[in-house]
Structure 1
Amino acid sequence: MEPNYVQHILEAAQWISDRIDRRTLEFGLVLGSGLGDLAGQVEDPVVLPYDAIPHFPVSTVEGHAGQFVIGRLEGRQVIVMQGRFHYYEGYSMKKVVFPIYVMKQLGVRSLLITNAAGGMNRGFQAGDLMLISDHLNLTGDNPLIGIHHPELGVRFSDMSQAYSREYRALARRIADRMSAERGEAVRLQEGVYAGITGPNYLPPVELTMLAKLGGDAVGMSTVGEVIAASHAGLRVLGISCITDMAIGEELEPLTHEQVVAVANRTRPVFIELVKRFVAEAPH
């Protein structure tokens, strides 16, 4: 990590802290493509554009608002990333995960991270949600490479429980209750997220390879952020919105607009699941 990395984290966190009335933040939420509307349900919000925060990158992807929304959600103090940063935008992996360390510095102890992903498991279908049980880091990079800053975490970070088993079990129980109340099943899958650099969607042979390696869904975010979150000691729940089926042998052309459209259709169930999780999750 660059020599001034920790100082930049502290300065960004202090700038934010000065603007949120010393609130004690409990949850961090990272909202992926098409899922940013949840930020509109935060009560008593303080909205802080990324480009105003010292040392912050700027989100350049369609569907990502590029701001923090800080306030109350289901009675808990939350900081919501309405839009994230991606390696494919040209940022270093350290810059991609910079907000995770800032949220930790602000007092966040739990992170709910979401993304839009292509489904590689033949048992999935577009519109499903998938609890992430583990990931494959296929980006060729790692945010912990470089100078070790012990203020942020240990040199050799353990990833055996990067995605909290307790949080996944709670999410499944919530989905079961929602299914009973709605009279139809909430399609909540569970599986391994394969993180790639992007920005291109993968060709058929590479998707077939990833499925054979154990991937159930594929996307262009999340793995770096979860590595940093685990390094920082945060408890993580990861949820993918399966926006398309990415099965190599049956692949059809895909656009970002299609991805966002499916995420939008899934949004009501997703938002309800997230809100109930935030209300019930222990720290």
Structure 2
Amino acid sequence: MRNAQREAEAVRAAAHVTEHLRGLGREPASQPIGLVLGTGWGDVLKFDQAIEIPFGEIPGFNGLEGLEGHARRLVIGSLGGRDIVALRGRVHLNEAPCDPNVAKMVRLQTEMLLQLGVRTLIVTSAVGSLRGCLPVGGIAVVDGFVTVYAPEMPMWAGEFVSPEDTLDPALRAIALEECGDLVAKTVGHVMVRGPFFEGRRYDKARLAGPTLPLAALVRCAGVVGMSMLPEACIAALYDAKVLGLGFVTNDDVAEHSHEENQRQAKAAAPHLCGLLARIVARL
């Protein structure tokens, strides 16, 4: 059950976007497809008749600081003839774990899409692989979450959801069919407070290690990341369907960095955007 008082902020944000569109002579679509474009996923994706609104101009995102590699713009347009509302870049919980305003914005960015009519949401991100069968450059099609290492979700009193209920099997089947020559696996996703695992091979080795007690918790998980779970939690409040896709920028052995993750994602951007376009065309 959604908290109606807290929901009002998302209603205001959606109303602002609607007014902005109408001021430009555009009516909002009744049920657009939602996209959350993580690292690499939106770098070269082109929308038809696109209108972009910086997060900072939308009520509720006041004081939001910039983050390298994340444009943080709301995009309204179409892709392959389908109406789209997209986040080009997102706010992450780990940016300021003790700041309630950041948690509020993490929730607001997704809830705003849902208030704009989105009922099918494709959530993308960069991820690290925990399994040798999913190499750098591969696609993780997420079918569940390990939540015990995650930060507190931006949920309010009285709200209880099972985020896995939003992960739609039919959407996963479409994604796997459209991956083509890309290496793709259906795997679980471990969300961590992050970015603790960046450049620290032992953190991820601990998650992946077969001899440790906690391995039982993650034995079905294939990737680790810092997002995707919050979007799924909020989507569950609206009975929306979610497809979670991760692009593997690093594995559980080699040292890596934010800069290397960015480089890997940008190099693969044309393939990732092509995959998204093919999936959207099937919806």
TM-score range, shorter chain: 0.7 to 0.9
**How much does 1:126 deviate?**
0.7
CA contact (8 A) 1:129 1:270 kept: no
Q: String of CA shifts for 1:19-60, please: whole Å, max 9, x gaps.
A: 222221411100111322244x10101110000001126363
Matches within 5 A, 1:22-61: 22-24=27-29, 25-39=31-45, 41-56=46-61, 58=64, 60-61=66-67
Aligned to 1:105: 115
Matches within 5 A, 1:122-137: 122-137=132-147
Is the alpha carbon distance of 1:2 and 1:167 closer, same or farther for their aligned partners in structure 2, counting shifts above 3 Å? closer
Aligned to 2:150: 139
CA contact (8 A) 1:163 1:238 kept: yes
Measured in 1, the distance between the counterparts of 2:47 and 2:164 equals 33
CA contact (8 A) 1:59 1:84 kept: no
Aligned to 1:260: 262
Q: Which amino acid aligns with 1:15?
A: H
Query: What's the Cα RMSD here?
Result: 2.0
Is the alpha carbon distance of 1:164 and 1:55 closer, same or farther for their aligned partners in structure 2, counting shifts above 3 Å? same
The one of 178, 183, 193 equivalent to 2:189 is 193
**How much does 1:207 deviate?**
1.8
| 3-state SS of paired residue (1:156) | coil
Measured in 2, the distance between the counterparts of 1:276 and 1:240 equals 16
| 1:170 correspondence with 2:166 | no
Identity, % of aligned positions: 26
The one of 54, 71, 76 equivalent to 2:77 is 71
CA contact (8 A) 1:3 1:147 kept: no
Which of 110-119 and 134-143 deviates more? 134-143
The one of 266, 274, 277 equivalent to 1:275 is 277
Measured in 1, the distance between the counterparts of 2:277 and 2:65 equals 25
Matches within 5 A, 1:109-120: 109-120=119-130
Q: Which amino acid aligns with 1:260?
A: Q
Q: String of CA shifts for 1:118-160, please: whole Å, max 9, x gaps.
A: 111111211111111111122231222x333xxxxxx432444
| 3-state SS of paired residue (1:221) | coil
> Please, what TM-score do these two structures have when normalized by structure 1?
0.86
Aligned to 2:236: 230
Aligned to 1:208: 205
| 3-state SS of paired residue (2:85) | strand
Measured in 2, the distance between the counterparts of 1:160 and 1:268 equals 29
Measured in 2, the distance between the counterparts of 1:159 and 1:31 equals 19
Q: String of CA shifts for 1:102-124, please: whole Å, max 9, x gaps.
A: 11111111100100011111112
Q: Which runs of 5+ in 1 are unaligned?
A: 149-154, 180-184
Q: Which amino acid aligns with 1:52?
A: E
CA contact (8 A) 1:59 1:85 kept: no
